[in-house]
Chains A and B, each alone.
Chain A
């Protein structure tokens, strides 16, 4: 009987061997594939097993984390003043994904970024819980607060940029939402409510919404006129007919009210916002050169700050009357608030457009800087001389008794600005958008350029003028930046 017994012994040995081989297959050969399997909950469990790093504004974190009772994800992210910061940080949800900085710098915040490898290795030996790194933003908390407070209760957006570096100082959008309410695993109801809200609180109006820029676009047209030699002296009379019948049509390009626009100087035309002068100027420059100039300011391409901003648009393939309309920010010209802030920033920085950016540096948990953004020139839309001419004209808009931008005046600073009231809707029936684009100078430096847009408020069409509604918000933002520098 012993011969079959020995064979059975071999058979049992083979059974055990098969198990051993299978275990090696799973635990060694297939381990990586199983660990990265889509159905594997472990990466997410690991990600939320420790508090993530923070997004920092002015040295203070605007995000945080709380320990929850959840049996899967131990930590949940929180926001301080969530609605105010949401357009900057985006949301980071355990189930609904993430957006903006929460998405772009997720690796650093969660601690999985390869640049944190050394840090992780060290904490493995020291036994400390792996923690995520911090994202230090360029924002100015006071300016952001001014922007958010000014926009509260309205629909709109505001952007402030430091013209000399491109640092974004404020980035607000209203109505907003609190990302804390959708951070957890059981926040499905809040998510549903937010995503079905017809006011679109999760839309980042500063970056992802393009508006007709209206009269604020006249800055680009003026720059194009100066750069292309169509106008050289802002105080010389221009050859501007009134009424201005758009080429190829019988339609006059109307001004807002009875303005002294006939052959007006460029300064006066900007100060009182003459549609006829700038429409005519745009046609004189020509659609191709207008397009070139707009592109130099950043139009017609997406911007990454590093959050993606929609491309603003100056139309191509247009006829002369359309060129006239486009040159005063109507027809198919569209711009994001960020884009208009870039226009103001380039003019204020003597013609040099600095690439706007939101993230100053990325820090490891031990505060080592792992990445720092260096200011970078994006383009030069106009020469320093022409830029200074345009600055002086913008200052007239604010300071001249006839100007439209009085509301932005700040004592102790020189403010240059441009208002805009953009028609939209079918036959321009909807309440127009109120724009204000400006910069403020203190001494020799220009610490801030802003763009503010407010969508159709409760006011009637007549009451909406950029100066009246958007101007005060721009004023508060600029003042906040100037004050915080003191």
Chain B
């Protein structure tokens, strides 16, 4: 008599989708390797010698990440890892392509005395990034653990955001901290994740107070004065970042993230209205007296009017011409002149190389890949069963979306340009590391969300249950 389990219907094992992920990963790696080949053939007319190393390296990273997900996050979303791998792989190709630009090489020699290729370093950063991804999956068995560190996160995030003030400005913005012997770090990238953890923990506790205690005014539910405190603090902080670090991007990201999470936690539209008003006031206020931000706005309004006289105008003008010269299908990999943007061509401005060499079609594809990552993140938030997981997932994915919008919109002249990196594609260790960690956390949340509920323990009084037989 096998009756011990008849009390409940056994959980139907949800499909894990790991094989789908593997297939997509193979596809992502193949696409990136073909792009690499394409660049080599276009530039030198022969198969590039590094193609095997590149293919094996990327495949190894993807393979390790996949195996870890298969073992430790069996039910995770199958798209996130392949999408991130694709972007990272393509990003490496573009960085390698710009490494071979004689124009940038001679520019680097003039500016720094020597030229060092960025692609090998980026490959190393990618490996460390994937290692971080693996570490997240190994050590973070359940994302709810993070909830315990709500206030620790707040302190860490504040330190990370404030730290660059004590380091010298570079390229007009204080967003780096320099660690002697190790190089420099962009703490804002990591702060983005840690602050999301803090907001998620904080809002989960306070959401009822923020949502329910309110007064109705002009059709809006206005929060009580004392509940306004936190949002005012965050607003003030983001303005301070803007003023002291002249980092419009992080400030925007930081504030936008908070508004989104506040809105999700409280379901109050009034927060959105408040948020938009406050950010508008803050942005206009700062732009009118902070020269660095003001220059960016001027450059954004009409880059060609001040092209010859202002570096900021020249950068954005060059970027726009890159997109224009790409046209519909692009010049082909390795055949564009996006390296005319001498400064940060492979970092903040990497999207203009995509625009020039892959054209409208390729850029739209890349943007849609970003859109898809955001969509999978939000889907994870929807599927999450606990409010903390929901808030954290929406925080991370909307933060990702805002970052992509701010940097891509800036490079394309849709909004004033701010110094931010395009996740996964732009050259820079901090960005790659932080974004792999971000994907790791999303994968962890999605795994928890999609994991079938554990079968209840066999009931101790099973024996006493009688099966009624005819």
Q: Which residues of A contact B (CB under 8 A)?
A: 1-9, 11-13, 15-16, 18-20, 22-24, 26-28, 30-35, 37, 39-42, 45, 71-72
Q: How far is the CB of B210 from chain A (nearest CB, A)?
A: 13
CA distance A322 to B265 in the complex (A): 101
Q: How far is the CB of B107 from chain A (nearest CB, A)?
A: 8
Q: What residues on A are CB-neighbors of B327 within 8 Å?
A: 27-28, 31
Q: Which of chain A's residues has its CB closest to B307's CB?
A: A39
Q: How far is the CB of B305 from chain A (nearest CB, A)?
A: 11
CA distance A27 to B361 in the complex (A): 9
Determine whether the beta carbon of A27 is less than 8 Å from that of B326: yes
CA distance A2 to B371 in the complex (A): 19
Determine whether the beta carbon of A1 is less than 8 Å from that of B390: yes
Q: Which 8 A-B pairs have the closest CB atoms?
A: A34-B324, A27-B360, A26-B323, A16-B371, A71-B103, A12-B401, A15-B405, A4-B264
Determine whether the beta carbon of B355 is less than 8 Å from that of A27: yes
Contact with A along B325-337 (1 / 0, CB 8 A): 1111000000001
Q: What residues on A are CB-neighbors of B308 within 8 Å?
A: 39
Q: What residues on B are CB-neighbors of A7 within 8 Å?
A: 263
Any chain A CB within 8 A of the CB of B321? yes
Contact with A along B255-281 (1 / 0, CB 8 A): 000001001110100000000000000
- Choose one: B324, B359, B390, B412; the contact of A5 (CB below 8 Å): B390
CA distance A22 to B320 in the complex (A): 11
Query: How many residues on the B side are at the interface (Cβ–Cβ under 8 A)?
Result: 52
CA distance A2 to B449 in the complex (A): 14
Question: Known contacts A5-B378, A23-B412, A42-B337: does B264 contact A31 (CB below 8 Å)?
Answer: no
CA distance A41 to B397 in the complex (A): 39
Determine whether the beta carbon of A35 is less than 8 Å from that of B267: no
Question: Known contacts A19-B405, A26-B323, A26-B413: does B328 contact A8 (CB below 8 Å)?
Answer: no
Determine whether the beta carbon of A5 is less than 8 Å from that of B325: no
- Choose one: B265, B320, B367; the contact of A16 (CB below 8 Å): B367
Q: How far is the CB of A279 from chain B (nearest CB, A)?
A: 60
Q: How far is the CB of A340 from chain B (nearest CB, A)?
A: 47
Determine whether the beta carbon of B378 is less than 8 Å from that of A8: yes
Determine whether the beta carbon of B325 is less than 8 Å from that of A31: yes
Q: What residues on A are CB-neighbors of B304 within 8 Å?
A: 37, 39
- Choose one: A15, A34, A45; the contact of B323 (CB below 8 Å): A34
Question: Known contacts A26-B413, A71-B103: does B321 contact A12 (CB below 8 Å)?
Answer: no
Q: What residues on B are CB-neighbors of A11 within 8 Å?
A: 260, 398
CB within 8 Å of A: which of B348-400? 355, 359-360, 363-364, 367-368, 370-371, 374-375, 378, 381-382, 387, 390-391, 394, 397-398
CB within 8 Å of A: which of B395-454? 397-398, 401-402, 404-405, 408-409, 412-414
CA distance A1 to B102 in the complex (A): 53
Not counting A8-B398, A35-B325, A71-B106, a sample of 20 additional A-B residue pairs whose C-beta atoms are within 8 angstroms of each other reads A4-B264, A5-B382, A8-B264, A8-B378, A12-B374, A16-B374, A19-B405, A22-B412, A23-B323, A23-B355, A23-B367, A26-B355, A30-B320, A31-B325, A34-B320, A39-B321, A40-B321, A40-B325, A41-B340, A71-B105
Question: Known contacts A31-B327, A42-B321, A71-B102: does B402 contact A15 (CB below 8 Å)?
Answer: yes
